[in-house]
Every structure is written in structure tokens, then in C-alpha cells.
Structure 1
Amino acid sequence: MKLKRFCALGAALMLLLPAVATPAFAAEEIVINEDISVSGDYDWTRFADDNITLNVYNWGLYISDGSDDSVDVVSAFEELTGIKVNYTTFDSNESLYAKMKSGGASYDVIFPSDYMVGKLIAEGMLAPLDYDNIPNIAAIGDEYLGWDFDPDNAYSVPYMWGTTGLIYNTTMVDEAPTSWSALWDVQYAGNVLMFNNSRDAYAIAAKRAGLSLNPSSVEEVNQVMKDLQDQKSIVQAYVMDEIFDKMEGGEAAMAPYYAGDALTMIEDNPDLAFVHPEEGVNFFVDSMCIPATSKNKEAAEMFINYMCETSVGYANCDYIGYSTPITAVWEMLDDDLKYSPIAYPGEDVMSKAEVFVTLPDEINAEMDSQWSQMKSYDESGGSWMVVIFLLGAVALSGFNIWRKLCKKMRDNY
């Protein structure tokens, strides 16, 4: 009897299927693989036959890419949508800006930080977002929306957030550092790494001096840049992604860097540890944006919506170690990450954290100019030392030849 009733119900449903198929199945999740599933309420395949390739430009090591048994979220997107993704990386906001400003490449989705979002908006380099195509904005926690750089989130969707701090090798440091001043300590000369971008490096020197990491005048920039100049003899190298090999390999004692990457490095080398310096740190939000030059804006919005799916956000957060703005993802994390003082610091850290703001053009230009001068000074200084050494060697060689000739003449005489 149960079988007959089930079959009768099935036949009735088949008769109704044309009328109810869309709403009946729309809410079901679409399973791409054992790790990734997405909402069935969204039309993921509407560009499947359009032969679209999205150019996505992200920070290095900032997505779950299939390595080390992680989930390849980009491949899952391609399988789901039929859209191809050309995925490339940058190592700083400044290099992202320079690449876009030069017009040498065209991107559809980029991942700038807070202050750079504001700069790109001010220069008309971002496209306003159509949230009809990004309904998953609803998954983002309210505390990560409405920042001054984009108060209405008209141009940006939060991707990850984090803080800066000091990562150090416990076998090479006598006492755990508590201050940014450790990066100026002469006992670690040649064993200190430093950010290789002007904004992060400036922020550290400014906080050390008791100043805001957002300068209010050109004079303030000059003052802080002198402190960075004084630090140069201590610094082994100015790095970005190179920090992974150097710190994990024990090639340096300490370095400032982003908390999410610190978690990765500590996992690979247990001798490493991380601290938020007492003077205060940078709190940052990295976002997903669409350049005004994108030729595939709606498909780019689909990619952003996909990145905000819970399973995708979890895969990214779990692999890269950065802090998620997606409420449901945070709830899924293991307790050791969910309550990590590195990834999710407490009020003692956050109360002294500052967010970068978009600087006035005059101040921003001065910072970039001073930073470039400092870097070039280092190089030219080294070059002059080489020249002086070579001239000295030539002079010494000439003197020895002259002595030999004089001796030979005396002997002949």
C-alpha cells in the first residue's frame, strides 16, 4: 500500500512539475564537490555559453587554491559557471595601483585594502556594484560594512580582515618583543625584516613614535621617514611575500607582517611566535571590487557573490588563516582558530588598532616620494661604496707597480 501511494504521489507531482519546477528546486543547494556547495536561488549558469574569461587580481597566497590538500575554489567556480578565470597576484596595494594606473592590464575583480579602495574610488577607477547580482552581501557582518572609505559599500564587498603585528623566532630573540622599537634594536642588526611598502612601513614607525598611522601633514611624514632612515642599518631586507621563506627558514629574527600570514608561518615553523605591539597596530579590511574598465561586470559580480558563499568563504578562511567577515563562516571554524588571539584579537588589541584612511594627494605624494628616496639612497650608497673600493684598489695596484719599477731602476743603476 505504501509503495502504491508513493507512486501515485509521484505521478501527481510529475503532472505538476512544469508549473512548480523552478520554485520547488530553487532553494536546494547545488553541490559542486564534497567541499563546495552554493545556493540554488542564484542563476550560476547564465554565462556558460558566452566564452567569458575573468581576469582576477588578488594578493599572493590569499585564496584556497588546491595546494596542500586545500580546496581549489577557482576551479569549482569554473565548473559551476562555465566561466574561465585568469588568476594572477600582486604583493602590495601600491603595486596593484601602479599596474592599474599604467593601463598595462585589464582586470575584472581586484582585492585592494581599505585606503586603496578609497583612492581608487576618488580617481574614478572602480565601477559601482549592482547588488541584485550579489545577494550574498547579506552574509557579511554589519561590523565590516560602512567604512569611511566606502560608506555605502557602493564599490566594495569585504573579503577578509586582519591586523598587523610582530612575528619573531623564539630561538633567535632573548625576550619576546612587546614594542615596535624591537625593529630598531641594534642587537638584531642584519636579522630584521621590514615591510616593502610605504604605507605599512610608515605606520609602524608612526605608532612607535606615538603618532597616528594616518599623517595629517607633510611635516609629519618627513619626521617619521627620518626614523625609517635611521632603521636602515638594522634591516636585512625589505620584503613582502619573501617573508615566508625567510622567517620559516630561520633566516631572520623578526619581522612585521599580517596576522593571517603569521598563522601560516607558525604552523610551518613552531619556533615562530606573534605579538601585537603595545603601541597599537593597523586593523585592515581587504575588499573585492570591480575596475571601471572591466568588460565582464555582471560575470565579475557573480564571482564576488560566489566568494561570499558560506562553503567558499570557509574554504578560503580555513586555508589562508585570515579573519572572515562572513558570520556563518566564523561560526563554522574550529575553536582554536575561532578564538585565536592572533586571528581574532580581543578588546585590548582592537581598542588601540587604527584603520588606514585615504590620504590627501599632497601627503600621499610626499610619503611615496620620501619612501622612494630612502630606497634609492640605500642603493646609491652601496654603489658609491663599490666605486670608492674600486678606486682604492686601482690606486693601491698603481702604487705597487710604481714601487716595483723604482726598485728595478735602482737595481739596474
Structure 2
Amino acid sequence: MPDPVRKAWERSRANGRAAMSRRRLLRLGSLAAGGAALAGCGIPPAAGNRGGNDPEDTPDHSKKERLLNFANWPLYIDVDEKDKKKRPTLDRFERESGIRVKYVEDINDNNEFYGKIKPQLAAGQDTGRDLICLTDWMAGRVIRQGWAQRLDPARIPHAVANLEDRFRTAAQDPGRQYSYPWAGTACVLAYNKKATGGKKVTSVTQLLEDEALKGKVSMLSELADTMGLTMLDTGIDPRKFTDDDFDKTLARIQKAVDSKQLRRFSGNDYMDELSSGDIAACLAWAGDIVQLKLDNPDVEFAIPESGYLFGTDDLLVPAKARHQANAEALIDYYYQPKRAAELAAWVNYICPVSGAKAEMEKIDKDLAEDPLIFPDAKTVERGRNFRPLTDKEHSRYENKFSKLIGA
């Protein structure tokens, strides 16, 4: 009899999970609002206090109130194969801990969600959420404003012990004092070998310059991934680029736009086009490609020799949250290797938990060997982060990028 997690995973495939990944459905960082929205999210210096980090300033009601309000992205947790309202790992946490979890999928976009909770955070008020999941660059922004509560290592022993080494150093949260990864993310190359005539696509240079691909190439409407991968291909380190480096990279992509080499910048629909062959090659998120390859053998991926873009979606406790200890209990629970493997078997993104690969082998050996879920040392070495941006840089760069992609 197959493992329940595997059955749920197979069921999700049959129901179109591969075509409805979290990042496909709802992109992080909406560019529809453009740079103006980012500028509008600027935080006045006076608001950047450390309200909420002092235990005396923020009473923890966890012992008396066995509750936890957890805000996450849609399609980012395992779901029962028969009853879609049930979430096996989360339900088990509730039974084992006695903590009732109100799980809400209300993070559809980093900037949008930030705008939603910013007024309460700036006013020193409880947001009504005890645990939130934000992409690393936005998590860093919240942390820098002093709007995240420092985690207590004594209450998250599994997380402290089992966090993979490569995740321990985080530019947005040095020392991992305020956040722990829910999942790792990777932007790589993907192509439809039928649409390319069997030709492999292994570099951004091919996307931008190969005449055989002209008009059948897409890049992403996410600044960090498109700019970061192109920087790497150009020989620029996205961890420490300058304004001139940014402009140089932008001009290179603009040239491909002007020549009609690039067909479009895609947000939530590149998977359909890649699968059908309308797009021959593109930039893609690894978790999506893991899912898509299961349904379409023509889809392949490649990690460029120049490297790929690596990031995380991070769990953190917002300032003034009422139930920090309960939130820490959940973080610690998902850092148990067995629970982490069960989660990764469904979401298919990079698992940040040491020991989870061995547990995944009991669920699905193919997934355990998939380098897009459990990267080997060589793959890890080729990953690069996009450096954190200041609020002014966010506004300036997003304005330029929005013009490039026509947003």
C-alpha cells in the first residue's frame, strides 16, 4: 500500500497540481503596481522602532491561549487526497501540540501583504497574525524595520539543529535570529525539447541571442530572477552588483526585446506555454518544473554553468504577535525531518531541513534524488542570491524594470 503522502501527491497531480503551483498561480512581487507602489511602501524613520522584541513589551499569551494564526501563500502546504480541507501535517501538529491553528492563505503578493499589515506594525499594534511567510527580500525589509520578533532558540531546538548549513547564512537575517525558511526557491532554465528540435538550452545567452529560438523565449516578470540570472550570464555577481551593473544588464535584455528575440515576460502562465511548445525556452522556478516534468516528458531543465538564482520563503513572527511560543512550536515541528519530507513531497520546492532526504526516500525515491528538491553539493555551490535592496533601490530598480517589461 503506498504511503499516504505519496497517494496525496499522486492525487494532486491528477487534479492538476502541476498546472497550479503556488508561484504559477500567484506571483510574488506584483509589478502591476510598479515602482510607485514600492515608493508608497516607504517607512518613515520614526516608525523603525524595535517594538515587540522585548518580552516585557509584548506579553506572550501562548500558555493561556492555545491558538496560532498562520498566514501563508496558497498551495503551499500538503493537502489530504480525499478532503481538500484537511492538511495532514498541520492537523497532526494540532493533535500533538494541543494548539489550534487558524491557517489562512492570504498572502497573494509580498508587496500587497506588506501594505496590508504595515499600518498596524507602524502603529505598534498586533496584526492578528502570529506567523507569516514572506520571500527573503521582503522578510528582510520587515526585519530591518524592527517589525519582527526575535525567535527563542530554546523553543526551536529541531530548527536550530536541523537547518541545512547553506541556509544559516542569510543576508536578510544574519544569524537567523528572526526567521527560518519554509522552503528554498531556485530560478533555472527550462525548455521544451520537442519545440527546440532536441536542442539543449543551457545558458541565458541562448535565450537572448540564439536565432533558432527567436520569438519563442520568455523571461520572468520578477526582477530578481530575470536580472539576477542575466547578471550571472554576463559575469556580474548578483550578490554585490552596482547601479552600472544593473543598467548594463537591463540594456542587454532590452536589446533582445527590441529584436523580438524575447516573446514576452511571463508571470503566472509560462508553464502552459512551455508545456504546449508555444514557448521553446524560458526562465522558470524549480518547484514548477519538478511538477511539470511529471506530466510532460518533453520538458527539461538546465542549471547554467554561470549559476542560478537561489532564495527562500521565510517564516517570521510579526511584532506584537500574541502567540510567539505557539508559532515557534510550529516552526520547530516542521523542522523534524519526517514532517519536512512530507511537506516537500507535496510542494516540491527545496527542502531546508537536514535529514529530510532520508525520510523522503521512504515516500518517493525519485523525489529524494531530484536536485531541484534536494540539491547536491555541486548544485548548492552554483546558487547565488540577489543582494538585499534598500527602499530607494527597490523603487529605482523596479521603475526601470517595469519599463523594460511593459508593466
| TM-score, normalisation: structure 1 | 0.70
1:66 and 2:93 aligned? no
- Give 1:25's aligned residue: none
- Give 2:147's aligned residue: 125
Question: 5+ unaligned residues in a row in structure 2: which ranges?
Answer: 6-60, 122-126
RMSD across aligned positions (CA): 3.2
Structure 1 segment 145-160 matched on structure 2, within 5 A: 145-160=168-183
> Per-residue displacement from partner, 1:309-349 (whole Å, max 9, x unpaired)?
33321111122222322222122222433333443444544
- Cα distance between partner residues in 2 of 1:294 and 1:246: 42
* Counterpart residue identity of residue 202, structure 1: M
* Counterpart residue identity of residue 66, structure 1: D
* Counterpart residue identity of residue 387, structure 2: V
> Per-residue displacement from partner, 1:72-121 (whole Å, max 9, x unpaired)?
33344445535132321546655554554466975432223433333321
Change (3 A) 1:349 1:68: farther
> Per-residue displacement from partner, 1:107-142 (whole Å, max 9, x unpaired)?
432223433333321122322112333232123234
Does 337-346 or 125-134 show the bigger shift? 337-346
- Give 2:101's aligned residue: 84
The number of residues matched between the two structures is 334
| 1:370 Cα deviation after fit | 0.9
- Cα distance between partner residues in 2 of 1:254 and 1:100: 38
- Cα distance between partner residues in 2 of 1:65 and 1:226: 44
- Give 1:340's aligned residue: 370
- Cα distance between partner residues in 1 of 2:83 and 2:350: 20
Does 287-296 or 198-207 show the bigger shift? 287-296
Structure 1 segment 176-191 matched on structure 2, within 5 A: 176-184=200-208, 185-191=210-216
| 1:151 Cα deviation after fit | 2.4
| 1:64 Cα deviation after fit | 1.4
- Give 1:364's aligned residue: 394
| 1:203 Cα deviation after fit | 0.6
Change (3 A) 1:55 1:238: farther
- Cα distance between partner residues in 1 of 2:274 and 2:112: 23
Change (3 A) 1:173 1:150: same
- Give 2:357's aligned residue: 330
Does 358-367 or 95-104 show the bigger shift? 95-104
> Per-residue displacement from partner, 1:258-292 (whole Å, max 9, x unpaired)?
22321111112121111001221122233211222
* Counterpart residue identity of residue 227, structure 1: R
Does 278-287 or 228-237 show the bigger shift? 228-237
| 1:54 Cα deviation after fit | 0.9
- Cα distance between partner residues in 2 of 1:102 and 1:193: 37
* Counterpart residue identity of residue 218, structure 1: D
- Cα distance between partner residues in 2 of 1:292 and 1:220: 36
- Cα distance between partner residues in 1 of 2:382 and 2:241: 19
Change (3 A) 1:267 1:256: same
Question: 5+ unaligned residues in a row in structure 1: which ranges?
Answer: 1-32, 36-45, 380-413
- Cα distance between partner residues in 2 of 1:91 and 1:173: 34
Whether contact under 8 Å (1:261, 1:320) holds in the other structure is no
Change (3 A) 1:361 1:84: closer
- Cα distance between partner residues in 1 of 2:338 and 2:353: 11
Structure 1 segment 391-406 matched on structure 2, within 5 A: none
- Cα distance between partner residues in 2 of 1:68 and 1:257: 30
SS of 1:63 mapped into structure 2: coil
Change (3 A) 1:271 1:219: same
* Counterpart residue identity of residue 321, structure 1: N
Structure 1 segment 29-68 matched on structure 2, within 5 A: 50=65, 52=67, 54-58=69-73, 60-67=74-81
Q: Which protein shows a greater Rg? A: 1
Q: Point out the structure with the larger helix share.
A: 1
- Cα distance between partner residues in 2 of 1:369 and 1:92: 18
Whether contact under 8 Å (2:216, 2:280) holds in the other structure is yes
1:353 and 2:383 aligned? yes
| TM-score, normalisation: structure 2 | 0.71
Q: Percent identity?
A: 22
* Counterpart residue identity of residue 291, structure 2: T
- Give 1:231's aligned residue: 256
